[in-house]
Amino acid sequence: ETIVDIGCGNGLLTQELARAVGPDGRVIGVDPSDAMRASAVARCGGMDVVEIIEGTAHELPLPDGAADGAVSIQVMEYVADISGALREAFRVLRPGGRLVMISFHSLEDRRVKRWMARQTQVDPALARLPLSEAQRRMPCRMVGKLIRPSAAEVARNPRSRSARLRIVEKMG
**Predicted TM-score of the model (pTM):** 0.79
58-73 residue pLDDT tens: 999 999 999 999 999 8
Q: Are strands 2-6 and 67-73 parallel, antiparallel or unpaired?
A: parallel
7-47 residue pLDDT tens: 999 999 999 999 999 999 999 999 999 999 999 999 999 99
- For residues 86-92, average pLDDT: 90
Confidence check: pLDDT of 104 > 80: no
Of the candidates 146, 66, 84, 149, the one whose C-alpha atom is nearest the C-alpha of residue 109 is 146
Q: How many other CB atoms are found less than 10 A from the CB of residue 128?
A: 8
How far is 162 from 135, CA to CA, in rounded Å?
Answer: 34
Of the candidates 142, 88, 78, 79, the one whose C-alpha atom is nearest the C-alpha of residue 116 is 142
